[in-house]
Structure 1
Amino acid sequence: MNLELQNIQFFLENSFQTNPITQLRIVHVGGTNGKGSVCSLISSVLYNSGYKVGTFNSPHFIEPRDAIRINNNQISYKDHIRIRKDILEKTKKIQLDQENNQKMSTSFSLSNFETSFAEMLIWFVENKVDIAVLEVGVGGRRDATNVFDYKYSLQPDSNSNFQIESNNDFSRNSLVQCICSIGPDHFGLIGNSLAEIAVEKMGIARHNSVLIVGQQAEESVLSTINEQAKNLVNKTVIDASKGWELLKNDQDLCLNNQSICSSSSSNPKLKISINPQYLFNDKKFSDSFFLQKLCSTDSFIPSTFDVLPLVLNGSYQAQNAAIAFYALLSLSVFHNFNKITLESIEKGYLNTRWPGRLTWIQLSSKLDNDCHTKNAKIINFPSSDLINSSEIIILVDGAHNPPAASELKKYVDYTQNEINKKSENVTLNRKRWIVGFTAGKNIKEIFSILWEFGSNDELWIVPFNQPEEMPWINSMDPNSIRDTLLLLHKNNLERNQNELGFNAEKDTSVGNSSRSVPNIKVFNNISDILKELFQSKEKHEDGFLNIVCGSLYLVSDLFRELDIEIWKDFVDTKKVLNLK
Structure 2
Amino acid sequence: MTAIKNSYNNCLEAMFGLRRFGIILGLETIRKMLEGLGNPQEHFKSIHIAGTNGKGSVASALASILHAAGYKVGLYTSPHLVKFNERICVNNHPISDEDVVTAYEAVKNAGYGDREPTFFEYATAMGFYEFARQNVDWAVIETGMGGRMDATNVVKPAISVITNISLEHRSYLGDSLAQIAGEKGGIIKHGVPVVTGARQKNVISVFEEIAEKKSAPLYRFGDDFRVRRDKSGTFTYFGFENTWRAMRTGLWGNHQVDNAALVLATCEILNKGKADIPLQSMKDGLEQNRWPGRLEVVSASPFVLLDGAHNLVAAQNLGNFLSDELGNRNITLVVGILDDKPYEAMLKSLLPACQKVILTRPVIGRALPPETLQPVAKEFTEDIKIIPNVEDAVKYAIDTAGPDDAICIAGSLYVVGEAKTAIKNYDFQT
The corresponding residue for 1:431 is 331
8 Å CA contact 2:194, 2:218 repeated in 1? yes
How far apart, in 2, do the equivalents of 1:236 and 1:334 lie?
15
8 Å CA contact 1:241, 1:319 repeated in 2? no
Residue 543 of structure 1 and its aligned partner are, at CA, apart by: 6.6
Q: Where do residues 331-410 of structure 1 align in structure 2 (5 Å cutoff)?
A: 331-335=270-274, 337-338=275-276, 340-362=277-299, 382=300, 391-410=301-320
Of 430, 441, 461 in structure 1, the residue corresponding to residue 359 of structure 2 is 461
How far apart, in 2, do the equivalents of 1:547 and 1:392 lie?
11
Of 182, 189, 196 in structure 2, the residue corresponding to residue 213 of structure 1 is 196
The corresponding residue for 2:7 is none
8 Å CA contact 1:65, 1:80 repeated in 2? yes
The corresponding residue for 1:224 is 206
Matched, 1:199 2:182: yes
Of 22, 26, 30 in structure 2, the residue corresponding to residue 8 of structure 1 is 30
Residue 249 of structure 1 and its aligned partner are, at CA, apart by: 2.3
Matched, 1:312 2:251: yes
- The superposition leaves residues 172-196 of structure 1 with CA deviations (integer Å, 9 ceiling, x where unpaired) of xx10000101111101211111110
Residue ranges of structure 2 left out of the alignment (5+ in a row):
1-20, 426-430
Q: Which has the larger radius of gyration?
A: 1
- The superposition leaves residues 450-486 of structure 1 with CA deviations (integer Å, 9 ceiling, x where unpaired) of 223xx872221111123xxxxxx62211112224544
The corresponding residue for 1:188 is 171
Of 23, 26, 41 in structure 1, the residue corresponding to residue 43 of structure 2 is 23
Of 195, 214, 220 in structure 2, the residue corresponding to residue 239 of structure 1 is 220
**2:170 alignment partner, SS class:** coil
8 Å CA contact 1:32, 1:185 repeated in 2? yes
Residue 219 of structure 1 and its aligned partner are, at CA, apart by: 3.4
- The superposition leaves residues 79-126 of structure 1 with CA deviations (integer Å, 9 ceiling, x where unpaired) of 1112212222333xx56xxxxxxxxxxx53111111111111111101
**2:254 alignment partner, SS class:** coil
Matched, 1:321 2:321: no
Matched, 1:66 2:86: yes
8 Å CA contact 2:251, 2:291 repeated in 1? yes
8 Å CA contact 1:195, 1:221 repeated in 2? yes
Residue 549 of structure 1 and its aligned partner are, at CA, apart by: 0.7
C-alpha distance 201-462 of structure 1, shift in aligned 2 (>3 A): same
- The superposition leaves residues 50-88 of structure 1 with CA deviations (integer Å, 9 ceiling, x where unpaired) of 000000001122121111000011111011112212222
8 Å CA contact 2:234, 2:247 repeated in 1? yes
8 Å CA contact 1:28, 1:177 repeated in 2? yes
8 Å CA contact 1:39, 1:135 repeated in 2? yes
The corresponding residue for 1:249 is 231
Matched, 1:552 2:416: no
Q: Which amino acid aligns with 1:244?
A: R
8 Å CA contact 1:244, 1:270 repeated in 2? no
The corresponding residue for 2:15 is none
Q: Which amino acid aligns with 2:336?
A: G
Q: Which amino acid aligns with 2:284?
A: K
In angstroms, what is the RMSD of aligned CA positions?
2.2
8 Å CA contact 1:272, 1:305 repeated in 2? yes
Residue ranges of structure 1 left out of the alignment (5+ in a row):
96-106, 150-173, 251-267, 277-289, 292-303, 363-381, 383-390, 421-427, 467-472, 490-514, 565-580
Normalising by the residue count of structure 2, what TM-score does the alignment of the two structures yield? 0.88
Matched, 1:475 2:385: no
Of 84, 92, 104 in structure 2, the residue corresponding to residue 84 of structure 1 is 104
How far apart, in 2, do the equivalents of 1:61 and 1:543 lie?
27
**1:334 alignment partner, SS class:** coil
C-alpha distance 456-36 of structure 1, shift in aligned 2 (>3 A): closer
Q: Where do residues 107-122 of structure 1 align in structure 2 (5 Å cutoff)?
A: 107-122=114-129
Q: Which amino acid aligns with 1:68?
A: I
Q: Where do residues 276-291 of structure 1 align in structure 2 (5 Å cutoff)?
A: 276=240, 290=241
Residue 545 of structure 1 and its aligned partner are, at CA, apart by: 2.7
Residue 236 of structure 1 and its aligned partner are, at CA, apart by: 1.6
Q: Where do residues 471-510 of structure 1 align in structure 2 (5 Å cutoff)?
A: 474-486=366-378, 489=379
The corresponding residue for 2:322 is 412
- Percent of matched pairs sharing the same residue: 28
- The superposition leaves residues 210-264 of structure 1 with CA deviations (integer Å, 9 ceiling, x where unpaired) of 1101143x3332333233333222x3211233433333323xxxxxxxxxxxxxx
- The superposition leaves residues 408-451 of structure 1 with CA deviations (integer Å, 9 ceiling, x where unpaired) of 1111111124xx4xxxxxxx2x4321101112211111122222
Matched, 1:528 2:402: no
User: How many residue pairs are counted as aligned between the two chains?
Assistant: 403
8 Å CA contact 2:188, 2:210 repeated in 1? no
How far apart, in 2, do the equivalents of 1:211 and 1:456 lie?
39
